[in-house]
Structure formats: structure tokens, C-alpha cells
Structure 1
Amino acid sequence: MKLLIVDDEQIERDGLEAILRSGFPDADIRQAKNGMKAIEAVPEFKPDLILMDIKMPGISGLEAVERIREDYPDMRFIIVTAYEMFDYARKALKLGVEDFLLKPSRASEIIESVGNVIHRIVAERSEKDALLSVLEADVVTQLLFDRVHEVHLDEMLGMLGGDTTREAFVMLLTLSRAQPAEHIYGAVKEKLRTLGSGWIGAMSGRQIPLIVFREAGKSYRAQASSLAQQLLSLQQRGSDCFIGIGNPYGTLDQIRFSYQEALIASADMSQPVKFRFYSELPSWNDRRNDYQEQQLERQFLDRIRLGRWPEVRHSLMSLIQRGEDAGLSLVEAQQRALNALWLISRVLLEMGVEADNPLFAYQCPDYPQLRTETDRLLDHLMNAIAARQDRMEPDVVQRIKQYIVAHSSEEISLETIARQVDLNPFYISKMFKEQLGINYIDFLTECRIDKAKSLMGNPERSLKEITFEVGYNDPNYFSKVFKKSCGMSPTEYRKALLGSKG
């Protein structure tokens, strides 16, 4: 906790600091001798709480509070003054001051007052951390698997903070069945928080996606290798995991390509080194930078996710045919087919469908036999997803819709919905969009806007009240979303609505 004491009397500052150090020995405490020095200290020190005297030469304490709040609206203040004046107290309360202490105050009173504010700060931080954790996983999901409305994305990115204009890449951590998934997920999240270098997505099956932002002054490969080694060190003895690493991209709009590359890089987990760069892989045509070849790989991934199995089968057979036409040995052609089958199993795992890793029982003696065996292994993977679909309730999308409608005023994430219907969050996003034509955030927005419209018919309800009641925390953001959805601002809509009723 960082505390800033502002008073023009040195003896007052020192006395207050002594009291605070006895009550809060772990606090970082600094002093400022007047209001202007306090204003100058805030950007660098970023205190959690400022104890401010009112009567000081130059800028008064209340003026300093007002100016600091312009740039730091969440800053906390306690006024400490010898002047028991109603006007001062009233203005301080209007500025959002937490408490008002009169000089001289007993040490116990000061410690109690500061302690109460610190308790509120800690509670709010805990609540905010929980919200940001859910939001972070949701943002990663939207960026890697779905297209979210730009207004929503801007708001979510703003809440997460950080420099989102830097290059970024994806690392995909795949856990072994032997590992305690929740423990490893928590350890990976904590490591990423400590480094402050990226965001962690929701765990999908046994796969954890990370969006990692490039560090200045360090090469991409050095940064990725260092982080991969740190993450691998978190696993328990005897466990086994693998990390695929995609290429860096300049914008978050393109980050899903890095995810696809990380997925491809993690298809073969039998490597002696437990992380692999996409750029190290031989492509289907041995031209890793060939744009057309990369598009073929991405089309292959999309066909698997969309369940277009005849097209997936055709892609596999085309891969084998290209190998035969190029004169590849059967050993190499079989390995390439196996890599493609492993990639299918990784995508199924992403969707929450676990299947035994496909393996050829023997070295195929000729190309016709290779086609037959590849076909058989593909059928095995398709049976796994068919079995999963048979266990799913047919009305699961309707259940999701009903849950969103009933809880639209609350914070709803894909992980929240996933817990309600016991399905993988990525698979829910895909299924919801396929069946309804929109993603779940757009549907949630429709519910909130519809509810807001009905509440606007009551002239006694303020727009600010309505904003919070329908599930938004920021009236400005609500106004942006409403205008994007309805073509007019909430104020304009309400005027038109009440005017038509009149």
C-alpha cells in the first residue's frame, strides 16, 4: 500500500508518518510539503491513499484534490485539518473524500480511519482482479476464435490495459493427461501476471492459449524460448507437456493466425525438445513462407472446426497425393499424413473432445495402403466427435439463450456459460454462432438494449440508473453501444419515445 502525506508543517508530516508506520509497517510512505508538490508526486509515486491538509500556502488541499482527481478519478483521500468548518467538509465530500480527520487526532483514530480505507481498497482490488481474470479469458477467446463487435473489443481492451499496439504472438500449452490441469493453469496465470507480458485464455480441453506481447530490446525467438522454458518448469515431476509457438503479428486483428500456427506447431508432441516454433516446421510443400501453403493449412483447420469431414478427408488424400507426385519416400509421406491426423486431434481437444492419439500400426508398404490406413484413423477421430455430440443435449443452445436472458444484467463470460451447460467454452462459441448466426456477446447486447428500451418508457428513471440496471458499469460505454445498435443515442431515443407517448 502506498500512502502520501501532504502538509506544509514538517513536524505534522513526521508525526503522522510515525503513527502510520506503527499501524501499517509494510506500507510505502512518502511526504509532500504542499499541494503543488503532491500534484507533481502522484504520476511517479501513484499512491493508493493521500492524507491531505487543507490550509497550505499556494494551492489549498481541496484544490490539489480536485486537480489530482481530474487525471486520477479513483484516487483515495483523507482530509487531515485543524479547521472544523462545514463548508470545507461539504466540498470535501463532494470531491469524494473518504474521511475527515481533525487535528490533533488520536493515533488510534488515524489508524482506524486509514485502515478502513485500505480495507475498501483491498476488497475492490480483489473484486476487480476477479472481473479482469474473467474478462481476460473472454478477450483471448474472442480474438482467437470469434469476431467481436469493435465497440466491445475496444472497451474490453481498455479495461485490461497494457500496450496492445505492440507485436504479439500465441503460445499454446498442451498438458498431458497425468497433470492436475487446474493447478498448472493457476501457476501459468501467476507466471504471466508476474512477468506482465501477456494474457491467458480459458483452458480448452487440456490446452491453454497465451497471447504474448513482444518485449522491447529482445528478439522474438529469445523471448519465446525463455518464456517456454519458464512455463515448462512449472509442471510436476513425471508430467509431460508441449508448447507450440506461432509467429508474431503486428495487430490483434491478426493474432488468430498466430494461434493457428501454434496449434500446427504443437501437433507432434513427440519432439525431444518440448516446445516448437511454427517457423521450424517443414510445410506440406517444403515452402514454409509460401502464402498459398499457409492458406491451405488454415482452410484445413477451419474445415475441422466446422465439421466438414468430407472436405477434411479430401484434404488428407490430396496431401498424400502431393507426396506421391513429388516422389517422397513412403516413410516421409506417412509421417506427413500422421502430422495432419495429429493436428485434427489437437483441434478436437480444443473443442473438448478427447481421442486417443492417432498412430499407424505399421509402416505402410505402398501409397494405396497409406490412403487406406489414413482413412481408418480419420474414421476413428470422427467417431470420437460423434460420440461427444450424441451425449450433448439437443436443446443446449436454447438453455444458453435462456441463461443469458435471465442473467443479462450480470457479468457473463463464456466460462460462466460453460459451467452452466458443462461444455467447452470454445465449442460453445462456435456452436452458438453456427445455430443463431451471431456470437454470444452480440446476443447479450441485444438483451440488454431491449431491456434498456423498456425501462426508458418510465420518465422517472434516470439514464444512469438504467445503465447500471441493464448490466453496464459506464454510462459513456452504454451510450456508444446503444447508438451502434439503434442508430441514435439513449437521450435521443428516450425523447422520441416519450414524445410519441405524449
Structure 2
Amino acid sequence: MLKVLIVDDEVLERKALTKIINGCSTDVRVIGEARNGRVAIEMTLQERPDIIFMDIKMPGIDGVQAVREIKKIDSSIRFIMVSAFNTFEYAKLVMQQGVKEFILKPSRKQDILESLQRVSAEILEERKRINEEQNLRKNLDRAVSIAGKEWVNTLLMNQVEDLTFDEWGELLGVEITYGYMMLFSLQEAVDLEHFIKDKQSWYLWLKESLKLVVKKYELMVGPFIDTQVPVIFLCRKTTEKIHFKTNAINIIEDICHLFQKEFFHAELRVGVGLPYANASELYKSYHEALSALQQLIKVPNQKFLFGNHEGNTEISTSTELFETEKQLLDALRQGDVNQVSVIYEQFVRQLSFNQQNNPKMISKSFDELFILVSRMLQDLGISYEQTPTINQSEDIKILFEDGKTYLLSVVRHVQDWRNNHAKSMLQKAKEYIELNYAEAINLELVADYVELSPFYFSKLFKDRFGMTFIDYLTKVRMKQAKTEMLDGGKSLKEICYSVGYKDPNYFSRVFKKHTGLSPSEFRKAIVS
């Protein structure tokens, strides 16, 4: 049954519409009447109607304003606008909100029912389409899951010559460029009885956690064999192969973090194979992951290892080195020359130890680092043409000096950018917030407006103004709310909506947290 809300400041009009609609069919039912736009917004939050008959000309919040606010609450609600002849031109404003149905006062019963029938049919057709898409997606996901598990089984036996990434890409609706294996292992930690009971629940937990954590890859989760679960990561075209280790570490760290919150009587270990561009070679990645997993026994307190083509393992991607790399990038982003120098020395020591002073491996690690630096600069919106010049030298000292020279040139460029260009962009963002606080603005929207990534915009904003984006937005809204409370003709709910909040209760909580008084207490204090 479709729920209908009637909004009109004339009680006779509301009653007449209610009687006509409730008498026409059992498929629609009027669930409420509102005398103005403000009440309509409140009732929408409570009742969630499917269709709203909205009068345009009403005191206070009129029909056009009410449509805008209700669309923010639920964009799927359909509107039928009701207008007298002298306000019909005014109705064109709501066409920008996607409203297509209008009827004139005094309304004929036939016009009302025809308009209601068209909108009802549109809603039912949309729901049917969504339901069909959901069922199709559900069936496809089930089929892909079953097929994926079988594919993993055949892969482990090196029998995948006739399967290609292109075929899987067509089924999944994405372009697959390469793939690799992870082997997750649950190691007994306490007693065998608990361990056996945990296995099945852990397997289900792992599948759900991977879905939650993994964003850049398509997953094929294999069966639980003994204590191990093989997982294929199919990498989309937009995921650069050179970042595979960084992305893999992020995934493993997130999974380990979630694992620590559970009460499994076991320990988690992960072996990672290398990426391959052909599906027929994925069995190699599996054996590399298996070799890495076996080597973990020899490495106390290490949660994961990467295998290589020789079947050995690399400890160069340990969490310690990864964390230092992240600190180095953060210091570059802050434009802190001293910190870059200090952290770089630490990075060099760790890299030299983990790569056993192998020039080729160190040069490769620098290549990966410089790509991350380039991406950071792009996200900040910084144009920097200079490219790193790392000589393919056998002299480790020269490699480290070349790396330091490039990073110091980057950090000085970032410093100049923060002192000049970034200030103007952040001021532009601040002005945008002050002009648009009443709208449904968020961090992503404002970051896009000043052409910065949300992550870097958030950090720069806090560095520049000493408060987070949401704290500043709240400060602006509270200041405006306190100003509007001086107008005794405005209700607190109207003020709530006018400063950008959808829920009066939430507005009240935020206001009290900000001022120490509830809105009503504050208004009483300033009036007296």
C-alpha cells in the first residue's frame, strides 16, 4: 500500500482530498494531513510517505521550500503540486527538484485521481525494477561465489589454462588486469576443541570482513582446507600494479585489526604471492603465498610475509618499514623539512637492513616511494614537474643521496605551496561554508569545490584553522541559530531547518553541547 500525505493550509481542501483518495482504491491510503510546510517536514520524518500532495502557497514554509527540504530527507518521495491559477507560474520552481505533476484549484476529482494513478504507477514500476535488479544481483553474486570457489580449487591443481581474466571481467562487469593470491591461515593458539569450533565461524567471519575491507579488488574466496583459506584478488584496471604491496598490507592490517576484536582461540597468519597478468599463472602466486606462510614459522611475531619468484620470502615489507614510509609521506605533506630529514634517515636504515644492501631492490623500493609521493602531490593539487633522478648505481650511498635530494626538493615545494596557494584555497572553502551552511554540505562536497581530496582537505583545514571541518560548520550554524532566535516570530523547528539541520532533536543536542543551554533555555535567557 502506498502512503499519501496531504499538505494544504485550507482544512476543507485537505478533507476533500483525503476523502477522494481514500475512497478510490485500497492500494493507496492517506496517512496524515499537514497545515503548512513546517508540519509537512516533521510528518515526513515520522511517517515516510510515498506521495505528497503539496499546496504551493502557504504561510511560513511554503510548498516550494518544503519540497526542497523533504527531498533532502528522502529523494524517492513523489510530489503532486496543488496550485491556484495566480500561483501556477510559481510552481515552475519545483520542476528543478524533479516534480512533474501539477493540479489546479479548485481540483476536479478526475484530475486528482489521474495524477495519483500516474505517480503510483511510476513508484510501483521503480520498485519492481529495483527488486528485479536486486534479485538478479543476488543470483549473480551467488553464482560467482560458487564459480569462484571452484576456480580456486582448479587453480590449486594448476588446471586453469582455459580461463582468462577477460572472461571473469565480463561476468563481474569490470576490466581485470592482473591477479594474485593470499593464503589466510588460522593457527591453533589454545586448545584443539575450541580451535575446531572456531574454524567454521572464522571462515564466515573472514568472508564478510574481506567484503568490508577490500574496495579496489574483486574477490574469489576458496574453501577452508585444513587450516588455510586461499583468496584470489582480481585487480581492476584502475588499480596500479606497482602499488600491489602497499594495498595488500593495508588489507592485511585492517583484517588483523578486526580479528583482534573477535574471540577466536587462534592466531592469524597471511602469506602473499606476487601478481600475474595471466590467469594461467595464478598457481605460481599460490605457491609463493604458501612458501611465505611456511616461512612465517621462522619469524616470531610476524603476521604476514610476501613470497617471490624464487620461493623465498621478503621481509622488506614489514609493518615497521611501512609505518616509517607513511610518516615520511606525512612529513612531506606538512612541509616539515626537519622531520623529513630525520624520518628519511630512519627509512634508509630500515631499508638498508631489510633489503640486505641490494642496490636493485633498494632502487625498486625508491621507485614505489616516489610514485606514492607523486600521487600525494596530485591529491593536494600541487603541480611539480621535477622527476626523481635515481642512478642505477651499485653504490648504495649514491642511491640514498639521490633519494634525499629529491625528497628535500619536494618538501620545500610543498612548503611554498602551503604558505601561498593552500591559504587561498582554504579561505575559499571557509567562505563557501559561511554562504552555504543552510544546505546539506559535507566534507567531500567542499573538498571538491576547492579541488582537493577529502583526506588532504581535512588535514589542511585543521592545520590552518585549528579545528575540524565539521567543528567549523557547526560553529557557523550555531552562530546563525543564535541570531535567528532573536526573532520571536520564528519557531525553534523553523530555525533548526533554516541553519541546515534535518532533525530538531539532534539540533537541540548540538546546540546544548555548543552553548551549555538548550535552544529553549537560550531563547528564554536572551529575551529576559
Q: Which TM-score applies when normalising by structure 2?
A: 0.47
Q: Which TM-score applies when normalising by structure 1?
A: 0.49
Bigger relative CO (Cα 8 Å, ≥ 6 apart) = 1
